[in-house]
Amino acid sequence: MSHNKKMSLTTRIMLGMVLGVILGLLIQTILGDKPEVAIPLGLFDLPIKGFFVDGLFHIGGQIFIASLKMLVVPLVFISLVVGTCSLSDPKKLGRLGGKSILLYLSTTAIAITVAISLALLVSPGGGVAIPTTATFDAQQAPTLAQVIIGMFPTNPINAMASGKMLQVIVFALLFGIAMALSGDAGKRCAKVFEDLNTVVLKLVTLLMNLAPYGVFCLMAKLFTTIEMDLIVELGKYFLVVVAALLIHAFVNYSIMLKVLTGLSPLTFLAKMKDACMFAFSTSSSSATMPVTLETATKKLGAHNSVASFTVPLGATINMDGTAIMQGVATVFIAQVFAVDLTLSDYLMVILTATLASVGTAGVPGVGLIMLAMVLNQVGLPVEGIAIIMGVDRLLDMTRTAVNVTGDCMVTCVVAKSEGELDIDVFNDADAAKDLEEDMDLEKRTKKA
C-alpha cells in the first residue's frame, strides 16, 4: 500500500509553486525582449506567450481563483449563521466583536510601527533616483460614516452577489440571532443550515485537489511577466518590506499568541503552512478564506462559532501586511522626494493607516487607496505610488500570507479567551495533516 500513497497536499502545492516559478523564469529568459517566440511543430507554429502565458497559465490560474471565490459567500454566510444560532449567550457576540476588532486594530498599529522604524533605520529611498513620469490616479476613500452605514444591506441578496462581505456578515449575524430566538422553527432551520455547512465544507475539501495545478499556473504566469530589473532597482525597498513582514509574522504574532494564550507559537506557525501558501499564491485573503476557516477549526481547534466570525471579519478589515507596505512606502517616497517628515507626521501615518484599515474595508484596490490617504495626510506626492507599483505584485503575495496568519492568530486568542478553543486539537500533530485524508476516506468507503 505504501507505493500507492499519494504525496501530501502541502508537498504537491510546494512542488507546483517551485515548478511554476522555474518555468516562468525560463519562459521569460527565452522570450527576452521579443514580443513573441513560437515553437515550430511542422504544420504550424505554437506561440509560447499566446498559448502558454496568456492562454493555458492564465485560464488555469483564473479557474483556480474563481473556484475559491465561489465558496466565499456561501461558506461565510452558512458558517456564520450556524455559529451565531448556536450561541447560548447573546452578549457573547458583543464580546467577540469587541475583542476581535481591538486585536485587529492593535496588530495593524504594531505592524506599521515596526515598518516605519525599520525603514528609518535602513533608509531604502536614500540616493535612489527613479524617473517619476508615471502618474497614479488616487481614488477617494469612503468616510467612516459611509462605511458604518454601508455595513447594513438594503438588499442581502445583492450584497451576496456583489461580494460585500461586511454586509453579508451583518445579515448572517442578524439571521442567526433571529433563528436562535424562533423556538422550534429556528431549530428546524438550524438543522438545515448545519447540513448545508457540512456539504459546503466537503466542497472545500474536493476543490483542494485543484490547488497544486492552480498554484503552478499562477506562479508560471507571474514569473513570466514580472520585471526582475525593477526588483533590483528597488532592492532596498523590496527587502525592507519583506523583512518587516517576516518580523511581524514570526516575532510579533508569536509573542502576542504566547502572552495572551500561552499556546506554542511553533505549533501555530507549523499548522499555518497550507493557508499561507494559498494566500501567497492567490494574493487574496477573501479567496483564501475557505482554507483559512478550515485551518482555524480543523487544525488549530477554534470552535466554529468563533472562527466563522473572526476569520471573515479579519479577511475584511485585517490589513497588517498592507500597513507594513504603507509604512515602508511612506518613508521611501519621502526620501526619494527629499521631504523631511517629523515625529508627529509618522504618528499621524500610524493613526491614519490603523483607522483606514476599517474605513476602507471591502473597497477594490484597498492597499493603494489606503496609501494614497496616508500620503495625502502628511503632504507627500501621491504620484510616488507609481514608483513602487512595479514590484508591488510580488510583495502583495507575501503580505496576504501575513494577513491570513494574523486572522488565525486573532481567532486563537479570541477562542481561547471564550473557552472555545480545543487545546488537544491545537497541540495534536495529526490535526495538521492535509485535508485530502477526508477524500481518501470517502474513496475507500465508495470502494467498500
Flag whether 2 is in a domain: no
Flag whether 387 is in a domain: yes
Contacts of 241 (CB under 8 A, 6+ apart): 115, 324, 325, 328, 329, 395, 398, 399
Contacts of 202 (CB under 8 A, 6+ apart): 438
* Contact (CB, 8 A) for 312 and 289: yes
Q: How far apart are CA 110 and CA 410, in angstroms?
A: 14
Give the residue from 205, 258, 263, 280 showing the smallest Cα distance to 18: 280
**pLDDT value at residue 25:** 86
Angle formed at CA 101 by CA 95 and CA 103, multiple of 5 degrees: 100
Flag whether 444 is in a domain: no
pLDDT along the chain (448 residues), means of 10: 55 86 86 70 69 85 84 84 75 84 92 93 74 51 70 91 83 89 90 90 79 86 77 84 95 96 94 89 83 91 89 86 90 86 87 72 61 81 77 83 95 94 86 50 48
Which amino acid makes up residue 232?
Answer: V
Q: How far apart are CA 196 and CA 222, in angstroms?
A: 36
Flag whether 406 is in a domain: yes
Q: Domain limits at 230?
A: 10-435
Flag whether 443 is in a domain: no
**pLDDT value at residue 150:** 80
**pLDDT value at residue 154:** 93
Domain count, the chain: 1
Q: How far apart are CA 56 and CA 48, in angstroms?
A: 10
**Cα-to-chain-centroid distance, residue 58:** 21
**pLDDT value at residue 44:** 62
Flag whether 265 is in a domain: yes
Flag whether 115 is in a domain: yes
Flag whether 317 is in a domain: yes
Q: Name the pTM for this structure.
A: 0.78
**pLDDT value at residue 422:** 93
Question: Residue 216 is part of a domain; what is its CATH number?
Answer: 1.10.3860.10
Q: How far apart are CA 291 and CA 307, in angstroms?
A: 12
Give the residue from 76, 73, 69 showing the smallest Cα distance to 159: 73
